[in-house]
Chain A
């Protein structure tokens, strides 16, 4: 159970081996092997301080791993910064740094990848095209917002999360990384975001989901990776495990 079974490289959208990261004398994680399959939802779980967030940040260029190899889309790709990771096709849904409150839903969806029309040397925003495209992006994922012309400030936490996920998916990303996407949400909003993640899975979007809600992880993901005290402790298929087994793996009782 605890020996990671290996997936052929062509099936993995992202993979790492022997990955280690320490901050000064504190080891965040050591010698981690991890893979996420194309078109699947891959969950990373673990107790607080197990190293899961740091691992994910090391995958997307926020942190630089001290040792080990990282492969993305079949190529060895260490990312020097989040921008490089984004250009390679990894979109991260940040917990708090996702949207600009004062801009509208449509503006947020197209921020920094605006559609422009060129007239001579000048480029002007094609706002009609962006609004049209924003509507279809939202309807493809069945996301309900009062209006795409609404400022994001006035939306609920769940709607905001849905829009940041929509933004990440809509950019044509090969891999969407979500760090605790429902941590700050209420029951109903959590259900909505979970439904959205399920739709992503149906549409074969590759997703990495960091969570410490075991039930949620079992509901949403295909493969679950368990971290414990800075090591990758185990990996299981979500369909073949139980909540009790996950608790045992996370706490080390297994």
Chain B
């Protein structure tokens, strides 16, 4: 569909007819490391964990790792679209919780699981749409708005659920969580499909270019006739949509809808985007980068667990890596 160069900025995406920097020059260029931080990090972790604990490289563990990464990959894609517009979606994990609760309640009320899933996705997409609408129409910073919706929909989720988890005993979801096709479980395929669709949307449609233009320089994009408000609303709606898909995967995985926010999902979604070389100032983004960033963060937790490192150290490791990645990003050209 496209070359890997699609995900790397100008220096590396120059066409064949233009001169390419030599390999040595490339390796000495900090910008190269910044662009490929997530890939380099993932390869490095695989090597280190593979040597320290050979079980890490077993097929069973790698399959489990991919399965565990699926939800984060989907969320990172949603976060990428928002960050590409130089915004941020802090309500992402709360939207997942709301989606899960709606899924559980609709299912418990006796409607089919398909209707429950569709309503969950619609609800989270509506949250995203609302975020975008308030940010653009109200001209309020994204940070404040999504922090507000984070709190608002957390409350809504608690009210709806009464603070109680709802069991979801659905064969459809059970099969989604545990079944597999070829080498990968279904959730992994869902994540792969999301990556492909998002990649095409970002690189092969007018929307993608307009998204990057809006994130790069909103005023200039507006002066050239791009309706930047609509683009931003669409980005937040996509983020909400991804939260809905993640909610389905989450409920399938744990078998119930919990009125509880997994804050590490939010932080890790932002971390994966940063690791993926997406500029927090907007205007430059890729889908493969954040997806690999999400894989890397999952591999980190997985490897540390295999090495019997206490779970208490894991957030510390994630935090250190994200700050390190952000530092390297400064060398991005």
Task: Return A151 CB to nearest CB of chain B, in Å.
Answer: 4
Interface 1/0 per residue, B195-208 and A, CB below 8 Å: 00000100111101
Is B333 in the interface zone, CB < 8 Å from A? yes
How far, in whole Å, are A103 and B226 apart by their CA atoms in the complex?
Answer: 14
Is B210 in the interface zone, CB < 8 Å from A? yes
Interface 1/0 per residue, B33-54 and A, CB below 8 Å: 0000000000000000000000
Give the most central of A111, A123, A153: most B CB within 10 Å.
Answer: A111
Task: Return B57 CB to nearest CB of chain A, in Å.
Answer: 38
Interface 1/0 per residue, A76-111 and B, CB below 8 Å: 000000110010000000100111111110010001
**Judging by beta carbons under 8 Å apart, are A102 and B209 in contact?**
no
Interface 1/0 per residue, B269-286 and A, CB below 8 Å: 000000000010011100
Q: For this complex, into which size category does the number of interface residues on chain A fall?
A: 20 to 34
Is A154 in the interface zone, CB < 8 Å from B? yes
How far, in whole Å, are A130 and B208 apart by their CA atoms in the complex?
Answer: 15
**Judging by beta carbons under 8 Å apart, are B18 and A149 in contact?**
yes
Interface 1/0 per residue, B203-241 and A, CB below 8 Å: 111101110110111011101111000000000000000
Residues of chain A with a CB closer than 8 A to B9's CB: 151
Is B10 in the interface zone, CB < 8 Å from A? yes
Give the most central of A98, A112, A150: most B CB within 10 Å.
Answer: A112
How far, in whole Å, are A94 and B283 apart by their CA atoms in the complex?
Answer: 20
Residues of chain A with a CB closer than 8 A to B114's CB: none
Residues of chain B with a CB closer than 8 A to A114's CB: 206, 209
Residues of chain B with a CB closer than 8 A to A82's CB: 223
**Judging by beta carbons under 8 Å apart, are B209 and A125 in contact?**
yes
Option from B15, B209, B216 in Cβ contact (under 8 Å) with A101: B216
How far, in whole Å, are A125 and B213 apart by their CA atoms in the complex?
Answer: 15
Is B323 in the interface zone, CB < 8 Å from A? no
> Beyond A112-B210, A116-B206, is A149–B10 a contact (Cβ under 8 Å)?
yes
> Beyond A125-B205, A151-B9, is A103–B212 a contact (Cβ under 8 Å)?
yes
How far, in whole Å, are A101 and B217 apart by their CA atoms in the complex?
Answer: 8
**Judging by beta carbons under 8 Å apart, are A102 and B212 in contact?**
yes
**Judging by beta carbons under 8 Å apart, are A154 and B217 in contact?**
no
Residues of chain B with a CB closer than 8 A to A124's CB: 200, 204-205
Is A120 in the interface zone, CB < 8 Å from B? no
| Shortest Cβ distance from B5 into A: residue | A149
> Beyond A146-B18, A147-B15, A150-B14, is A100–B216 a contact (Cβ under 8 Å)?
yes
How far, in whole Å, are A114 and B10 apart by their CA atoms in the complex?
Answer: 19
Residues of chain B with a CB closer than 8 A to A104's CB: 10, 13
**Judging by beta carbons under 8 Å apart, are A112 and B333 in contact?**
no
Is A131 in the interface zone, CB < 8 Å from B? yes
**Judging by beta carbons under 8 Å apart, are A112 and B15 in contact?**
no
**Judging by beta carbons under 8 Å apart, are B15 and A131 in contact?**
yes
**Judging by beta carbons under 8 Å apart, are A123 and B213 in contact?**
no
**Judging by beta carbons under 8 Å apart, are A149 and B209 in contact?**
no
How far, in whole Å, are A111 and B208 apart by their CA atoms in the complex?
Answer: 11
Residues of A within 8 A of B (CB): 82-83, 86, 94, 97-104, 107, 111-112, 114, 116, 122-125, 127, 131, 146-151, 153-154
Residues of B within 8 A of A (CB): 9-10, 13-15, 18, 200, 203-206, 208-210, 212-213, 215-217, 219-221, 223-226, 279, 282-284, 333
Sample (6) of A-B pairs whose CB atoms are under 8 Å apart: A100-B213, A102-B212, A103-B283, A123-B206, A125-B203, A125-B205
